Amino acid sequence: MPEVVIAKPRVGKFTKNAARRVRVAGKIPAVLYGAGIDPVAVEVDPKQISRILFSEAGHNTIFDIDVEGQAQAKAMIVDWQREPINDLLIHIDMKRIALDKTLRLKVRVKLLGVPVGVKTAGGILDQVLREVEIECLPSDIPSHIDVDVSGLGIHGAIRIADLPHTGSIKYLNADDATVAHVTSIREEAPVADATAQVAEPVVAKKGKTDAAAPAADAAKKPAAKK
Protein backbone atom coordinates (compact mmCIF):
# COMPACT_ATOMS: atom_id res chain seq x y z
CA MET A 1 0.00 0.00 0.00
CA PRO A 2 1.38 3.44 -0.91
CA GLU A 3 1.91 5.84 1.94
CA VAL A 4 -0.72 8.55 2.40
CA VAL A 5 0.77 11.96 3.10
CA ILE A 6 -1.64 14.29 4.87
CA ALA A 7 -1.09 17.87 3.71
CA LYS A 8 -2.75 20.76 5.53
CA PRO A 9 -3.24 23.95 3.48
CA ARG A 10 -1.42 27.00 4.80
CA VAL A 11 -3.18 30.32 5.10
CA GLY A 12 -1.98 33.89 5.37
CA LYS A 13 1.22 35.39 4.02
CA PHE A 14 3.96 32.99 2.94
CA THR A 15 6.92 34.80 4.45
CA LYS A 16 10.11 33.51 6.04
CA ASN A 17 8.65 34.16 9.49
CA ALA A 18 5.51 32.22 8.59
CA ALA A 19 7.60 29.28 7.35
CA ARG A 20 9.65 29.41 10.56
CA ARG A 21 6.48 29.20 12.63
CA VAL A 22 5.43 26.10 10.67
CA ARG A 23 8.76 24.43 11.44
CA VAL A 24 8.59 25.42 15.12
CA ALA A 25 5.20 23.69 15.24
CA GLY A 26 6.86 20.47 14.06
CA LYS A 27 5.79 20.56 10.40
CA ILE A 28 7.52 21.33 7.07
CA PRO A 29 6.31 24.02 4.66
CA ALA A 30 5.71 22.56 1.21
CA VAL A 31 4.20 23.30 -2.19
CA LEU A 32 2.05 20.92 -4.22
CA TYR A 33 1.56 21.55 -7.95
CA GLY A 34 0.95 19.81 -11.27
CA ALA A 35 -1.87 18.08 -13.17
CA GLY A 36 -3.26 21.39 -14.34
CA ILE A 37 -4.29 22.42 -10.81
CA ASP A 38 -3.16 25.66 -9.19
CA PRO A 39 -0.22 25.25 -6.80
CA VAL A 40 -1.16 25.11 -3.14
CA ALA A 41 1.00 25.88 -0.12
CA VAL A 42 0.74 23.17 2.51
CA GLU A 43 2.45 21.81 5.61
CA VAL A 44 3.39 18.14 6.06
CA ASP A 45 4.86 15.80 8.65
CA PRO A 46 8.69 15.71 8.41
CA LYS A 47 8.79 12.09 9.66
CA GLN A 48 6.66 10.95 6.72
CA ILE A 49 8.78 12.84 4.22
CA SER A 50 12.05 11.51 5.70
CA ARG A 51 10.67 7.98 5.59
CA ILE A 52 9.95 8.42 1.88
CA LEU A 53 13.32 9.99 1.06
CA PHE A 54 15.23 7.23 2.86
CA SER A 55 13.20 4.39 1.35
CA GLU A 56 14.59 2.11 -1.37
CA ALA A 57 13.07 4.21 -4.17
CA GLY A 58 13.91 7.49 -2.41
CA HIS A 59 12.54 10.63 -3.99
CA ASN A 60 11.14 8.55 -6.86
CA THR A 61 8.60 6.99 -4.50
CA ILE A 62 4.99 7.46 -5.59
CA PHE A 63 2.61 8.17 -2.71
CA ASP A 64 -0.95 9.38 -2.16
CA ILE A 65 -1.34 13.03 -1.24
CA ASP A 66 -4.41 14.02 0.74
CA VAL A 67 -5.11 17.76 0.80
CA GLU A 68 -8.15 19.12 2.59
CA GLY A 69 -10.77 20.21 0.06
CA GLN A 70 -9.16 18.36 -2.87
CA ALA A 71 -9.45 14.86 -4.28
CA GLN A 72 -6.69 12.47 -3.23
CA ALA A 73 -3.98 12.22 -5.90
CA LYS A 74 -0.70 10.48 -6.67
CA ALA A 75 2.40 12.56 -6.09
CA MET A 76 6.20 12.53 -5.93
CA ILE A 77 8.83 14.65 -4.20
CA VAL A 78 10.68 16.67 -6.85
CA ASP A 79 12.81 18.96 -4.70
CA TRP A 80 13.75 19.42 -1.06
CA GLN A 81 15.92 21.68 1.05
CA ARG A 82 17.83 20.90 4.22
CA GLU A 83 19.24 23.13 6.91
CA PRO A 84 23.03 22.87 6.36
CA ILE A 85 24.17 22.65 9.98
CA ASN A 86 21.70 20.18 11.49
CA ASP A 87 20.64 18.57 8.18
CA LEU A 88 16.95 19.06 8.95
CA LEU A 89 14.31 19.27 6.23
CA ILE A 90 13.06 22.83 5.88
CA HIS A 91 11.03 22.77 2.63
CA ILE A 92 9.82 20.36 -0.05
CA ASP A 93 8.17 20.56 -3.47
CA MET A 94 5.70 17.85 -4.48
CA LYS A 95 4.20 17.22 -7.90
CA ARG A 96 0.92 15.52 -8.75
CA ILE A 97 1.38 12.81 -11.38
CA ALA A 98 -0.86 10.90 -13.75
CA LEU A 99 -0.27 7.16 -13.87
CA ASP A 100 -0.89 7.04 -17.64
CA LYS A 101 1.69 9.70 -18.56
CA THR A 102 5.45 9.22 -18.83
CA LEU A 103 7.82 10.97 -16.46
CA ARG A 104 11.40 12.16 -16.78
CA LEU A 105 13.46 11.50 -13.70
CA LYS A 106 16.87 10.45 -12.42
CA VAL A 107 17.53 6.97 -11.05
CA ARG A 108 20.48 5.74 -8.98
CA VAL A 109 23.01 3.38 -10.62
CA LYS A 110 24.17 0.50 -8.41
CA LEU A 111 27.44 -1.22 -9.36
CA LEU A 112 27.67 -4.95 -8.63
CA GLY A 113 30.82 -7.06 -8.32
CA VAL A 114 34.56 -6.33 -8.29
CA PRO A 115 36.17 -5.75 -11.71
CA VAL A 116 38.82 -8.22 -12.81
CA GLY A 117 41.06 -5.24 -13.57
CA VAL A 118 40.91 -4.29 -9.90
CA LYS A 119 41.48 -7.83 -8.63
CA THR A 120 44.36 -8.84 -10.88
CA ALA A 121 45.90 -5.63 -12.19
CA GLY A 122 45.56 -3.21 -9.28
CA GLY A 123 43.22 -0.90 -11.14
CA ILE A 124 40.73 1.53 -9.64
CA LEU A 125 36.98 1.47 -10.31
CA ASP A 126 35.67 4.97 -11.01
CA GLN A 127 31.91 5.58 -11.12
CA VAL A 128 31.37 8.60 -13.34
CA LEU A 129 27.55 8.67 -13.30
CA ARG A 130 25.84 7.84 -10.03
CA GLU A 131 22.44 8.64 -11.53
CA VAL A 132 21.05 8.35 -15.05
CA GLU A 133 18.09 10.17 -16.52
CA ILE A 134 15.23 8.03 -17.81
CA GLU A 135 11.72 8.37 -19.18
CA CYS A 136 8.99 5.88 -18.28
CA LEU A 137 5.51 5.44 -16.86
CA PRO A 138 5.16 5.88 -13.09
CA SER A 139 4.45 2.17 -12.64
CA ASP A 140 7.77 1.28 -14.34
CA ILE A 141 10.07 3.47 -12.25
CA PRO A 142 12.91 1.30 -10.90
CA SER A 143 14.27 1.93 -7.42
CA HIS A 144 17.77 1.67 -8.94
CA ILE A 145 19.56 0.22 -11.96
CA ASP A 146 21.92 -2.71 -11.34
CA VAL A 147 25.13 -2.88 -13.40
CA ASP A 148 27.53 -5.84 -13.27
CA VAL A 149 31.11 -4.55 -13.51
CA SER A 150 32.93 -7.79 -12.60
CA GLY A 151 34.09 -8.36 -16.20
CA LEU A 152 35.82 -5.00 -16.60
CA GLY A 153 39.58 -5.10 -17.17
CA ILE A 154 42.04 -2.21 -17.10
CA HIS A 155 40.60 0.68 -19.15
CA GLY A 156 37.33 -1.23 -19.55
CA ALA A 157 34.16 0.87 -19.37
CA ILE A 158 30.39 0.61 -18.98
CA ARG A 159 28.46 3.12 -21.06
CA ILE A 160 24.80 4.05 -21.27
CA ALA A 161 24.40 1.71 -24.24
CA ASP A 162 25.60 -1.18 -22.03
CA LEU A 163 22.95 -0.70 -19.33
CA PRO A 164 20.00 -3.10 -19.07
CA HIS A 165 17.43 -2.06 -21.67
CA THR A 166 13.75 -2.89 -21.50
CA GLY A 167 10.84 -1.70 -23.55
CA SER A 168 9.46 0.20 -20.57
CA ILE A 169 12.47 2.48 -19.91
CA LYS A 170 14.12 5.00 -22.22
CA TYR A 171 17.55 6.38 -21.33
CA LEU A 172 17.93 10.10 -21.99
CA ASN A 173 21.73 10.31 -21.55
CA ALA A 174 23.93 9.94 -24.64
CA ASP A 175 24.59 6.28 -25.53
CA ASP A 176 28.36 6.79 -25.35
CA ALA A 177 28.32 8.50 -21.95
CA THR A 178 30.56 6.65 -19.48
CA VAL A 179 28.84 5.26 -16.41
CA ALA A 180 31.88 3.56 -14.83
CA HIS A 181 35.39 2.53 -15.90
CA VAL A 182 38.55 0.96 -14.52
CA THR A 183 41.65 3.13 -14.56
CA SER A 184 45.26 2.28 -13.83
CA ILE A 185 47.11 3.76 -10.88
CA ARG A 186 48.98 6.84 -11.96
CA GLU A 187 52.70 6.16 -12.16
CA GLU A 188 55.10 8.41 -10.35
CA ALA A 189 57.15 10.81 -12.42
CA PRO A 190 60.64 9.38 -13.23
CA VAL A 191 63.44 10.55 -10.96
CA ALA A 192 66.02 12.75 -12.70
CA ASP A 193 69.30 11.02 -13.67
CA ALA A 194 71.69 11.36 -10.76
CA THR A 195 74.66 11.53 -13.15
CA ALA A 196 73.25 14.53 -14.99
CA GLN A 197 75.47 17.55 -14.64
CA VAL A 198 73.95 20.35 -12.69
CA ALA A 199 75.22 23.86 -13.30
CA GLU A 200 76.69 25.30 -10.14
CA PRO A 201 75.40 28.71 -9.21
CA VAL A 202 77.87 31.58 -9.43
CA VAL A 203 78.70 32.70 -5.92
CA ALA A 204 80.39 36.03 -5.34
CA LYS A 205 83.68 35.60 -3.47
CA LYS A 206 83.94 37.38 -0.18
CA GLY A 207 86.68 38.27 2.27
CA LYS A 208 89.95 39.63 0.94
CA THR A 209 88.74 39.84 -2.65
CA ASP A 210 85.94 42.20 -1.68
CA ALA A 211 88.26 44.26 0.44
CA ALA A 212 90.88 44.49 -2.31
CA ALA A 213 88.38 45.59 -4.94
CA PRO A 214 88.39 49.30 -4.00
CA ALA A 215 92.21 49.34 -4.05
CA ALA A 216 92.34 47.74 -7.48
CA ASP A 217 89.86 50.27 -8.80
CA ALA A 218 91.93 53.09 -7.37
CA ALA A 219 95.08 51.77 -9.09
CA LYS A 220 93.38 51.90 -12.47
CA LYS A 221 92.61 55.63 -12.09
CA PRO A 222 95.17 58.06 -13.68
CA ALA A 223 97.33 60.04 -11.29
CA ALA A 224 96.14 63.57 -10.61
CA LYS A 225 98.18 66.32 -12.34
CA LYS A 226 100.18 68.63 -10.11
Q: Could you report the per-residue pLDDT of 164-173, keeping only the tens digit for each? A: 988 899 999 9
Q: Could you report the per-residue pLDDT of 99-132, keeping only the tens digit for each? A: 999 999 999 999 999 999 999 999 999 999 999 9
- Bridging pattern class, strands 124-127 and 103-112: unpaired
Angstrom distances, CA of residue 71 to CA of 37, 67, 68, 74: 11, 7, 8, 10
In the chain, the domains with their CATH numbers are 4-98 (2.40.240.10), 104-183 (2.170.120.20)
pLDDT score at 150: 96
Rounded Cα–Cα distance for residues 129 and 110 (Å) = 10
Q: Find the angle CA(86)-CA(89)-CA(93) to the nearest 5 degrees.
A: 155
Q: Which of 164-168, 202-206, 217-221 has the highest mean pLDDT?
A: 164-168
pLDDT score at 207: 46
Phi first, then psi: give them for residue 52, nearest 5 degrees: -70, -45
Q: Could you report the per-residue pLDDT of 23-70, keeping only the tens digit for each? A: 999 999 999 999 888 899 999 999 999 999 999 899 999 999 999 888
